[in-house]
Amino acid sequence: MNATVNNVHTFDRRLLARMTGNLGDDQTVGKLAEELGQVFSEFLPDILNAETQQDITITYAGFETGLKTRLLAGLGDGVALCTVGLRNWCPDFTLAIDSPAIITLMEMLLGAPSSEVEEPKPRQLSDIELDVASMVFEKIADVLKSAVNAPGGFEPVLERPHNANIKPVAEGEDVFAACINISIGLGPVLSTFSIIVPQQPLLKTTVVFPKGIGQNRKAKSQWGEQLEEQVRRSSVNLEARIKLQSLTLKTVSRLQAGDIIPFHDAKDVRVEVNANGRDLYVCEFGRSGARYTVRIKDTHGSDNDILNHLMS
């Protein structure tokens, strides 16, 4: 008897994706990306300008296609990411923004003149900066919701933004996506935010120009005030440093549990309070009931100086 050999050929993934509507040609995807870019360039500047009182420009900056994980990894480490879902359009897409855009916006909101702002290097954002990024993402998602006109009028659901940390996934679990890039200009700094969306819902999208976005807005909106308040209400971990009496290395090496080291100061004990490695206050050590306390005697700079320290 002759043995029968069954040859199993793996079906080309790209061809299968194209046949099932999960992958489009560059011309189709590019047209949709450009239309979305036009919506953002038309409406988002008015929203952000009115709500932050900053000179912000928005322009379409092209698109890329590929597997979603690879597109996200291609954005680099210095970006903030936000996972978003919009019912009846796409349950899982990602918004990204370069960290220099958020750092610059923070500086300008805290009073730095645009002429004095220098372009920052990409880096991981602090928790306070991620709070600001979340509000920017909300506005981007609102414009996108109106542009794709998802049935039912549902609101986007945004997760907490985070610094880029792309975890590899199995190739079979990845999806073909498009990365739509939009440039955002704040004063002298030109940066980028991106929309990374699977191609399946994108290819079914009819882009519309929303009505009324950006019209009849107050000179200082509630969102702008909320943004400033959010910065000031964000939690900051403080540390107090007290200088102790100098000891010889020999004495230090012999210290045991229960030994006492006196403070350096004999009367009012000086304490340096810092956050994020930066000194903020000069204090004196004391006690209130059962709690040890510090009383602020002086500050390292003005309120804005302290805020700027905490932002960096």
Q: Which of 211, 233, 255 is the last residue of a domain?
A: 233
Question: What is the reported pLDDT for 240?
Answer: 85
The stretch 18-30 carries a mean pLDDT of 78
- Claim to verify: residue 204 and residue 131 sit in the same structural domain: yes
- Claim to verify: residue 82 and residue 221 sit in the same structural domain: yes
Q: Which of 218, 233, 248 is the last residue of a domain?
A: 233
Question: What is the reported pLDDT for 32?
Answer: 94
Closest by alpha carbon to 296, among 278, 270, 262, 275?
270
Both tokens assigned to 264: 């350096």
- Claim to verify: residue 276 and residue 177 sit in the same structural domain: no
Residue 219 is classified by DSSP as S
The stretch 88-107 carries a mean pLDDT of 93
pLDDT in tens, 152-176: 889 999 999 999 987 766 556 788 9
Do the Cβ atoms of 240 and 273 come closer than 8 Å?
yes
- Claim to verify: residue 91 and residue 177 sit in the same structural domain: yes
Question: What is the reported pLDDT for 263?
Answer: 86
* Measured distance CA(63)–CA(198) in Å, rounded: 13
pLDDT in tens, 126-147: 998 999 999 899 999 999 999 9
pTM value > 0.75: no
Mean pLDDT, all residues of the chain: 82
Report the CATH number at residue 173.
3.40.1550.10
Grouping H, G, I as helix, E, B as strand and the rest as coil, residue 84 is: strand
Whether residue 3 is contained in a domain is answered as no
* Domain interval for residue 49: 13-233
| Reported confidence tier of residue 3, pLDDT bands at 50, 70, 90 | low
- Claim to verify: residue 46 and residue 142 sit in the same structural domain: yes
- What is the number of alpha carbons within 13 Å of residue 184 lying toward its C-beta? 28
- Claim to verify: residue 208 and residue 285 sit in the same structural domain: no
Do the Cβ atoms of 154 and 87 come closer than 8 Å?
yes
Do the Cβ atoms of 193 and 49 come closer than 8 Å?
no
Q: At residue 92, does pLDDT exceed 80?
A: yes
Question: What is the reported pLDDT for 19?
Answer: 65
Do the Cβ atoms of 72 and 82 come closer than 8 Å?
no
Do the Cβ atoms of 221 and 51 come closer than 8 Å?
yes
Element (H, E) at 293: strand 291-299
Whether residue 31 is contained in a domain is answered as yes
- Claim to verify: residue 36 and residue 133 sit in the same structural domain: yes
- Claim to verify: residue 44 and residue 174 sit in the same structural domain: yes
Do the Cβ atoms of 137 and 161 come closer than 8 Å?
yes
Q: At residue 36, does pLDDT exceed 80?
A: yes
- Claim to verify: residue 169 and residue 305 sit in the same structural domain: no
**What is the phi/psi pair of residue 115, to 5°?**
-70, -20
Residue 273 vs residues 234, 267, 278, 296: alpha-carbon distances, Å: 18, 19, 8, 9
Report the CATH number at residue 249.
2.30.330.10
Question: What is the reported pLDDT for 23?
Answer: 77
Do the Cβ atoms of 59 and 41 come closer than 8 Å?
yes
- Claim to verify: residue 192 and residue 261 sit in the same structural domain: no
pLDDT in tens, 246-276: 888 888 888 888 888 888 887 778 888 888 6
- Claim to verify: residue 226 and residue 288 sit in the same structural domain: no
Q: How many structural domains compose the chain?
A: 2
Both tokens assigned to 94: 């990602």
